[in-house]
Amino acid sequence: MEKEEKKFVNKAEEDEMEIYGYDLCRWKLVLVTVGVICSGGLLLLLLYWMPQWRVKATCKRTTLKDCEVVLLRTTDEFKIWFCAKVCITPSLGANPLQNPNPIVHKVSNGHAVHFSESAPEENKNYLKKYLPIRYFTHHSVKYFWNYSVQSFDVVRGLDESTFCSSIHNEHSTGLTKGMHDYRKAFYGVNEIAVKVPSIFKLLIKEVLNPFYIFQLFSVILWITDEYHYYALAIVIMSVISIVSSLYTIRKQYVMLYDMVAVHSIVRVSVCRGNQEIEEILSTDLVPGDVMLIPSNGTIMPCDAVLLSGTCIVNESMLTGESVPVTKINLPNPSEYPKAMGDEIYSPEVHKRHTLFCGTNVIQTRFYTGELVKALVVRTGFSTAKGQLVRSILYPKPTDFKLYRDAYLFLLFLVVVAGFGFLYTVVNSILNEVPARTIIIESLDIITITVPPALPAAMTAGIVYAQRRLKKIGIFCISPQRINICGQLNLVCFDKTGTLTEDGLDLWGIQRVENARFLLPEERACSESLLKSEFVACMATCHSLTKIEGVLSGDPLDLKMFEAIGWILEESTEEETALHNRIMPTVVRPSKQLFPESKQATNQEMELFELSTSYEIGIVRQFPFSSVLQRMCVIARVLGEKRMDAYMKGAPEVIASLCKQETVPVDFECVLEEYTKQGFRVIALAHRKLESKLTWHKVQTINRDAIESNMDFMGLIIMQNKLKQETPAVLEDLRKANIRTVMVTGDNMLTAISVARDCGMILPQDKVIIAEALPPKDGQAARINWHYADTLAKCTSSSPAINSEDIPVKLVHESLEDRQTQYHFAMNGKSFAVILEHFQDLVPKLVLYGTVFARMAPDQKTQLVEALQNVDYYVGMCGDGANDCGALKRAHGGISLSELEASVASPFTSRTPSISCVPKLIREGRAALITSFCVFKFMALYSIIQYISVTLLYSILSNLGDFQFLFIDLAIILVVVFTMSLNPAWKELVARRPPSGLISGPLLCSVLSQIIICFAFQAFGFFWVKQQSWYEPWTTESDVCNVLDVINTSSANHGNETLHDEHNIKNYENTTLFFISSFQYLIVAIVFSKGKPFRQPCYKNFLFVISVIVLYVFIFFIMLHPVESIDTFLELVCVPYEWRLRILILVILNAIVSVLTENVLLDMILWKVVFNRDKQGEYRLTIPQPPQEAVDRCGVCFLSSLFGCREKTPKAKYMHLAQELQVDPEWPPKPRTTTEAKVPSQENGSYQIITVT
């Protein structure tokens, strides 16, 4: 076949993949089958682990349009391969959104009628017109063959390329039964299917892990060599590990299934094209169906756009904010001649008109008897909830250097084992050893060098850390993440319910009269203010509604309304059905606000009667806009002819829209005082409208015509309370050099205010607001930079504010003090524009970005990935389902909720407080250092035993079975499982543990101990041969005193056969056994590091007791031999003088090992390398301590001695921070704009220019 050009699926999207086509090749399949049989199944295992090899070994390359199997490879840094089988299904057409002809024909309104009801003979002819539609499924998404682009593609719903006018004019009457069935063939069942794998399937997947396969190989080899006890111990440990892992994985699947399955299938009513209403299951819905929303509400089974009526929806599943949201029907552009024009419908842009899957419709409202209808636009995994579940089911792999380095180190051990294997084979052949012995011994040296117990040993520290976390109320469903948490250097926090309490409190009000501020007032419900315009604004300018008689809405609006003690009354469904949709909501003061009539004077009676008639009707509401940072209502007092406009919002925004003569001159100073104290400040304004504005005109008037020439009325001061522990925890993280970032679905004003209050942004720090605007009307995408000082930072709630309309108080044009930190703040819309059009700026912005507001769930995940792309180890702390994707994607996600978020999050805290974050990091650091200690110890254990066996192989000897057993069970397993018990250090320190094994200090530590152990073993091995009493040991040998003769002779008879077969008993064996036994304990102590990440090893009582007992026992059997023990361990008698010399060797070995590790490496070399690495470290808040300067001076000489030079930091964020420190163009200058030009054809990147 001719070479096909490289093709992609999901082009330019987050999950972009390369795709290749293959056909099954029979002769290749036969060859592979033969290879599998000849290799005893090993080839099958290899092909199971490598899907790309499996496809290439059994298939031949072909074009995509003819292929039977597709091979996919992700285009990200992981380059992961997948394969999928191509299926074929018959269909009447190739595009589900177009009518298949000639079977279905169109009518004038653009809707399909029905499939032709013809005779059976005709149906046979129609069958010939079926098209074979080819598709494959990957990660719960179907990819169909697209004839137009000649590649596979996802079938889109009505959420792309559908105009708003088309939704009303072409799709509003629903689908015919025939068209519905046609589309269902493409879109399938509308469900978010989470299949819980069977125990057997999970078991097979777990057992086929390479480590367990190697353990199986080792166990079989040991059983063949009659080494049963240790094999049994390894089997027991493996079974426990597998069962524990299976339980955890299955529990996760069941939790996710339960979360998705609830309310997933409901009965819904849909409109058919012939005006009939049909009741179907929600699983049968397809894009294009028009469903009726019941008046008592429902759980949405799909994403749908509202065509008529209004709905009150709880979207906490998506946003995390448990505030009812009012959804209004999508306006029909053809009905508004003065409209801006038609536009393409998008669920994100038109989210005020979109009902999302999984959200709870609490109430519906309709007018003049019409039904509340919604057009289905997305189903199944394409919905917002489906994408969230997919991000949990198929997260991107988390790349952690420790595990990569562990595999590299194991590869190094395999290479070492290979040399040992060759040496053993050659040496055995030269000495004419039997073939069976050669095979067993040469394979045995591989199991010695690569310890099968390593996975269990590495898991021990994590299991202990998991147990300690459980004691402090932190539950873990992904234990491997505990190690990764030890590397976290940045933590993203959700705001609501995480950093702050859920609600707001009204602190007071400060009214304005005659352009002057009055004194602050604590209460707004006083008698004198009852009929004031200020209170009228508080009573009407909100988005509150009643749900089952209970007032619900935004917490700020709720607190504001409750503070004045008014009553809200909404028209009933019966009343609404009799009137037009402009039937107003009415607010009025409660009777308790009026003074009681003590004497029935005419004046008081008049006032009392007035109380029953003073009502304000809300005629029209301009909802709160995060872009405009304000909301506005038009209201009319009962009996008045003229209407009033009331507006509230961010103070600068409101002040800019008011007459300047009504704004106090000290407005900025007063505002600054409040914001410095961390208050949330809202400004109010009012305007009397012209009498010519009628009710009907008000319904069509432009918002801009109302929101101008307002009268400034004053300020409402709200208190957004932080949780008590928040500032202290963030301060601890700051001192530990861990960056903190806020990523929230709330608005910018609140987010920046909270960031100031909790210490995330320090008082002297500057905030730069990045306002990114997408391309429009031929203009390129651009970013407007606003340098805001304390006042602007605390009160500007969105970067998307027009700099020409709003006066922002700016800092000095040049940043003379480079030590002053700056922070970027932006909202979700700006973040999306920057990701799409300013990719080169993303690393720079996330490097200093601190506040990310109005972030959608997928944007939170994108932010986490952007931070990971610059080599941050990212933690995420949140409490809502909207955080699920980010919690799963982060290196360490911790949920403060035991609901939806806990399903996705590796960690769940029983206490809803961020104090769990430093605890988790401390335990993570302790577990990480424990993993390093255990890995180094296991590596040394393997090498020490490898050295012993290799030296003994040179004389055709080996360690005895019970010597192996004593070393492996009594020493190694006891030490490994007790050295992991060190608890975490009591506080976070500013330095982090190394992230990988392939680092200077760790490699030096391991290699130095290997050299020391080899030197002392080799010295003992050759020194024993130089002794005057030495001769090759035989059963008749007697080099001991008279007391030892009995021991020696009594042991001869029972072990003669053993000597003949394996030559275990000899002086070299006994010498190396004692030296190596002590070496295991020496390196265990040397590698058991404590401060600053773990408690000192002397506080680990079990470890201390274990080591002491083992030392005493080995000293005892070495200096005072016991006949039964010597017989059991196959030791020979050596002179007491030689035993003392071995003791001296062991003591010297211990001294050299301890001095090398604790003095040469820890105090000298470690400091040189560590300080060199830290020179490029990016620190957001902490300046370099003076002591570090002294340390650096102290190690300058050593740095030059070891050849250490100033190197570019490995972490991208460190390297970038260094570059930006000397970049005169960064940060951007005030009042400048950065524009993105059209991408050049050569490299596809955007040219970025900055204009003033």
The answer to whether the CB of 753 falls within 8 A of the CB of 794 is yes
The answer to whether the CB of 1131 falls within 8 A of the CB of 1064 is no
The answer to whether the CB of 965 falls within 8 A of the CB of 230 is yes
Q: What tokens were used for 334? A: 């053809």
Pairing of strands 874-878, 892-895: parallel
Bridge partners, residue 786, by sequence: 769
From the candidates 289, 444, 494, 554, give the one annotated as an active-site residue: 494
Distance CA 1232, CA 814 (A): 13
Q: What tokens were used for 1113? A: 């026992």
Q: For the chain, what is the radius of gyration of the CA atoms?
A: 37
Q: How far is CA 759 from CA 574, 643, 645, 676, 731, in A?
A: 53, 45, 38, 12, 7
The answer to whether the CB of 931 falls within 8 A of the CB of 979 is no
Would you list the DSSP string of 1178-1196?
--SSPPPPHHHHHHHHHTH
Close Cβ partners of 631 (under 8 Å, ≥ 6 residues apart): 541, 542, 543, 621, 622, 623, 624, 625, 647, 648, 649
Q: How far is CA 1124 from CA 962, 1002, 1051, 1073, 1078, in A?
A: 13, 42, 9, 17, 21
Cα 831–Cα 834–Cα 837 angle in degrees, nearest 5: 150
| E strand spans, 661-759 | 679-688, 711-719, 739-743
Cα 409–Cα 412–Cα 416 angle in degrees, nearest 5: 140
Would you list the DSSP string of 1020-1066?
HHHHGGGSTT-----TT---S-HHHHHHHHHHHHHHHHHHHHH---S
Whether a cis peptide bond, with omega within 30° of 0, leads into 1227 is yes
User: Alpha helix locations (H) across 8-50?
Assistant: 26-38, 42-49
802-840 burial, b at 16+ Cβ within 10 Å, e below that, comes to: eeeebebeebeeebeeeeebbbbbbbbbbbbbbbebbbe
Residue 222 CB neighbours (<10 A): 22
Bridge partners, residue 551, by sequence: 546
Order of strands across the sheet that contains 267-271 = 277-281, 267-271, 290-292, 373-378, 303-306, 354-355
The answer to whether the CB of 1067 falls within 8 A of the CB of 1033 is yes
**SS3 annotation, 976-989:** HHHHCCCCECCCCC
Distance CA 1134, CA 1071 (A): 9
Residue 276 CB neighbours (<10 A): 11
Distance CA 314, CA 327 (A): 10
494 is catalytic: yes
Task: Give the type of residue at 1211.
Answer: A
The answer to whether the CB of 924 falls within 8 A of the CB of 931 is no
Q: Looking up tokens 């067993």, which residue turns up?
A: 440
**SS3 annotation, 818-836:** CCCCEEEEEEHHHHHHHHH
User: Alpha helix locations (H) across 262-341?
Assistant: 316-319
Distance CA 1108, CA 1106 (A): 6
Active site residues: 494
